[in-house]
Structure 1
Amino acid sequence: MARGDKDVNIRIRTIVFEFTMFQFTISEFTMFQFTIAKFTVFEFTVFEFTVFEFTVFEFTVFGFTVFEFTVFEFIVYRFVVRRAYC
């Protein structure tokens, strides 16, 4: 019954888990339409900029668990429509 080894032998367990996902998406779409007899210029531009960062950090010491969860999402939309009629 005298199992005092658990108190004497202190085990420090450290788990560091870091996961980083960096997604970078650039989508640009340009369309030119030319019509003679009316001279129509149609420019359509869609610019999508997406940055997605995912970080999971787990730290365990003495049986206590600290969990850090960070989600960073950055979305920029640029919409440009130009029309020129002559």
Structure 2
Amino acid sequence: MIDGKEETLISGRKCYSVTGKDKALRMFVDNLRTSNKFEDSDIRVIGGIDANGRMKIILAGHFVDEVSFQDFKKKFINPYKLKQEN
């Protein structure tokens, strides 16, 4: 499973973080890369793997500026979670 939340970078810019198991997170990123809304965005992997074996990525760039966090959850996080549950 993956989880997402809105955060702020040290620079003060808004970003979205997504955490999850390595395999699930890689599949999620692949899904994002195939989205046309993701075209102008950056993905940065930060923090590596935490104590629970979860990775964290940060989404920044035009994608975050153009898509609200509620839309991000609705269009990307929630459908991916449903797909993983089935």
Q: TM-score, normalized by length of structure 2?
A: 0.20
Q: TM-score, normalized by length of structure 1?
A: 0.20
Which structure has the bigger radius of gyration? 1
Structure (1 or 2) with the greater helix fraction: 2
Structure (1 or 2) with the greater strand fraction: 1
